[in-house]
Chains A and B, each alone.
Chain A
């Protein structure tokens, strides 16, 4: 079946450094790729997304890139801050005749050390 692989599972960076999280997907019909941030004990929340007709999208310190040919997409966080510490999930959404289906990656636990 469809799956989304996410790496690394844990990432530790120094405050001010950059963090990169990578995902690959298997379903060629996937056309939308959101990223969610889950702080400790809280619900996941959408932070950024990218559609299949776009190669890169940026929102302040975070950016996402997509390589449809390779079925890769990545999240980049620059100038990391302690409040960026959380679990990040990538996801791939595909549209079918009945609606759509979203499959999540296993998550990356990011630690930003002050």
Chain B
């Protein structure tokens, strides 16, 4: 039981490049979400999903896309990276009643 697996751990992109952050969970949770963590701003919700085929926007969705084709996977796509997207990204898989979020290891993304 690996929990939440998030890759890559580190990434450097040039402005305008695209990339996908991968997230997979093996706990059979319906609810998954993506957060970005910036100094002094805590964890801000980007997108979330309440089940396969269902996604919705969080607080800061602009510049990001998500899809949920399976219960296990919830990738986050940056369409055209900007320096403002430099951050640490966390994927989370959440129990059915919202009582606990299990976070991935995080991705430190730098956009130059």
Contacts and interface: CB of A to CB of B under 8 A. Distances in A.
Q: Do A and B come from one complex?
A: yes
Contacts, number: 59
Contacts of B40: 9, 106-107
Interface in B62-112: 90, 94, 98-101, 103-106
B56 A98 contact: yes
Give the interface size class of chain B: 20 to 34
Given A89-B42, A101-B45, A103-B59, 6 more contacts: A32-B98, A34-B101, A43-B104, A46-B101, A99-B50, A107-B42
A interface, over-half SS:
strand
B42 A102 contact: no
Interface in A56-114: 89, 93, 95, 98-107
A30 B70 CA distance: 29
Interface residues of A, number: 25
Given A101-B45, A104-B42, A93 B98 contact: yes
Contacts of B43: 44, 89, 104, 107
22 contacts: A32-B98, A34-B101, A36-B101, A43-B104, A44-B43, A44-B90, A44-B103, A45-B103, A46-B100, A49-B100, A89-B43, A98-B50, A99-B98, A101-B48, A101-B58, A102-B33, A102-B94, A103-B45, A103-B59, A104-B44, A105-B42, A107-B43
